[in-house]
Structure 1
Amino acid sequence: MTEQLNSPVTRLLDAHAIEYGLIEIPLDPERKPVRSLEQLMAGLDRDPGQIVRSLLFRCGSGQFALLAVAGGGRADWGVLRKQLDERRLTMAQADEVLQATGYPIGAVPPIALPEAVRVLVDETVFDHGKVVIGSGVLGYALDVAGTDLRKVLADAETGHFVKL
């Protein structure tokens, strides 16, 4: 890695001796990341399907669950409710995302999360040799080998959680 970024995510990857690349995401005038990471990836001649999105859900029990999906994968709410043994799920609000994960929307990773957040990973995340995950810091993403990400997500629940 040529540039340094110090976040809980990079510290975790460093602790596991996992190599990663830093992708700078241009910020708009309001200091928010570009809306289309897919466009940025296409401009870098990369498959937008490699982007791992971290979707945070608030469960009826009051707990939070994060679903990591590849590309434009859409959560299958019925499958999620069953997996989580919850009758009610809603998408977390912006303030809840920061409060529950410690990261702002646009930078939430599927790793280095508080223990209270239950992590589920759709198997499609591991279909790519390289994936792009949130770095924990707005304006940056990390490029990681899918096999290395799987190692760090060893304790996460994996399965098929998206609509086909």
Structure 2
Amino acid sequence: MLGELGRLDQSAQDVFGPYEKTLANGRRLSSVSAVLRAPDGEAAALPCVNLDRTPLEQAAAVLSSFCAPTTPRPKPLFEQDWNERVQYIVGAYVRECGRPVERLTRTDRLTLLARLQEAKVFTVRRAGPAVAAALRVSRSTLYGLLAELRTPESRTPRHDPSA
């Protein structure tokens, strides 16, 4: 093949690829070839690097299987797992509103806490720190939001008669 390369124009492309090659056994390779030239510009060597794509394709198949539609979560495994319930509710809300948990507004957090309260997450001892971690807020911020949620009148501005 080097004889054929000798006929290449010196200004021609010297690196080819990545391009696909297929072996007789059906395995696919990704290949890159480069023309190495002598000081006079003539083609002197043609190294070719081949990468067997089989392991990469197998890994891609495994990864894509995790992205495929799944069966519903098995209820007996998760109905008593309050921490999993927290993660599930927070994750669903984040997907619903299209913002990461760090960018949730105060109203978003109150809505989310109402959903967690409805799911009876706060009846579990030590749920507060886990919820605060899931929401990426401090415990004091969490307890302040919970107090606000539990006393709706504190959310509406009061009319000050002296004003």
If the TM-score is normalised by the length of the shorter chain, which range does it land in? Answer: under 0.3
Give the structure with the higher percent helix. Answer: 2
Give the structure with the higher percent strand. Answer: 1
